[in-house]
Amino acid sequence: MLTKAIGALTMPLLLSLPPETAHRATIAALKYAPFLPKTASPPGLAVSAFGLDFPNPIGMAAGFDKNAEVAGPLLALGFGFVEVGTLTPRRQSGNPQPRLFRLPRDGALINRMGFNNDGYEAARARLAARPAAGIVGVNFGPNRDAVDRVADVALGVKTFAPAASYFAVNVSSPNTPGLRDLQQRAAFDELVARVAEAREQAAPGRPLLVKIAPDLDLRGLDDVVEVCARRGVDGLIVANTTIARPESLEGRDNGEAGGLSGRPLFESSTRMLARAYLRCGGALTLIGCGGVEDAETALAKIEAGATLVQVYTGLVYRGPALIGEILDGLARAVERRGPLVALTGSRAREWAANP
């Protein structure tokens, strides 16, 4: 109730500010607002995945809390988990501004932030200082000018071993030149082998996930699934932003370079999720991400094969009330149709067959 009221008051103001200013203001408000209302997870939404117990399956996607500043407040708002990052070993400023664009009529964003972040050490210290409650995954990737990209990623495992509930390796941002090439079979196999070895040394058994691009073709998806299953990766996050530009986009900034997120990403990322689900045969746990903006789209991700679901762009347009709305809608679905685990993948074949 209070979350709804706060959202109703603040969202028009935030959406009238330039997008990056609005984002900075939101992070500051979350950081310094002790009055934040707490949202409890409705009963029946608890989920177990890769050895962790989530109070509900809805998570904050990477890129919102890049520097691990507000994981606690985001959990208090009702998220079942938070993924911080993407972090790189050394601080970097990212691409020149403007680099974040709203396409309100499309319910979409285009960003080419370019991994602007404070670096591993600052985030490690912040995570070490926070209370241990709640599931916080850490997403990391290489610096733009890395000499050895795989070493940058392996260092992430070592650095965040004391603090991360799970590790998420980002090989799918379109805004670091050449990064997505790490998804190609030989490079990907080497990356995953070295990261899995780092995990064995620094944090045996800690869940290791890989976040993939929605633009992979089916052969690329086959390769990713095969390598991950063989090398003991626990899960995939499907998916990051897309470099595709559907013709239907109406926003003035639809020609900006970068990754497109939100409503126009929903269909393609859900189809890819279903295809990943059918290929995994249960060997990998899937997090569905892309275009979730209400309870129906969250449920669709679960039916397509997701055990957990992440949101970013929907929150930008709908505000914090979206979290409670999704949780209530899922709770009603569970009452009507049975536990979430039974719904996972129930419509994967239909989604995978979508042209």
Ligand X SMILES: Cc1cc2nc3c(=O)[nH]c(=O)nc-3n(C[C@H](O)[C@H](O)[C@H](O)COP(=O)(O)O)c2cc1C
Measured from the CB atom, is 126 or 200 closer to ligand X?
126
Token look-up 């109406």 returns 250
**286 lines the binding site for ligand X (CB under 6 A):** no
First vs last C-alpha separation in the chain = 41
d(CA 185, CA 147): 20
**290 lines the binding site for ligand X (CB under 6 A):** yes
CB of 335 to ligand X, least distance (A): 26
CB of 66 to ligand X, least distance (A): 6
Of 41, 172, 173, 269, the active-site residue reads: 173
d(CA 217, CA 58): 27
178 Cβ contact partners less than 8 Å away, ≥ 6 residues apart: none
Q: Judge contact between 308 and 351, C-beta under 8 A.
A: no
Tell which one of 3, 56, 111, 254 touches ligand X (CB under 6 A): 111
Find out whether the peptide bond into 86 is cis, omega within 30 degrees of 0: yes
Measured from the CB atom, is 98 or 339 closer to ligand X?
98
Measured from the CB atom, is 230 or 237 closer to ligand X?
237
Q: Write the binding mask 77 to 106 for ligand X: x where contact by CB under 6 A, - elsewhere.
A: --------xx-------------x------
Q: Write the binding mask 162 to 181 for ligand X: x where contact by CB under 6 A, - elsewhere.
A: --------x--x--------
- Active-site residue flag, 173: yes
CA–centroid distance for 27 within its chain: 17
d(CA 75, CA 86): 18
Measured from the CB atom, is 123 or 131 closer to ligand X?
123
Q: Judge contact between 80 and 55, C-beta under 8 A.
A: yes
Measured from the CB atom, is 29 or 44 closer to ligand X?
29
Tell which one of 66, 102, 231, 279 touches ligand X (CB under 6 A): 66
| Nearest alpha-carbon partner for 332 in 4, 42, 1 | 42
**240 lines the binding site for ligand X (CB under 6 A):** yes
Tell which one of 313, 320, 330, 345 touches ligand X (CB under 6 A): 313
# binding residues, ligand X (CB under 6 A): 27
Backbone angles phi, psi at 69, to 5 degrees: -95, -25
Tell which one of 265, 272, 280, 326 touches ligand X (CB under 6 A): 265
d(CA 86, CA 340): 29
| Nearest alpha-carbon partner for 64 in 83, 36, 39 | 83
Chain contacts with ligand X (rule: CB under 6 A): 61-63, 66, 85-86, 100, 109, 111, 113, 139, 170, 173, 211, 240-241, 261-262, 265, 289-292, 311-314
The residues carrying an active-site annotation are 173
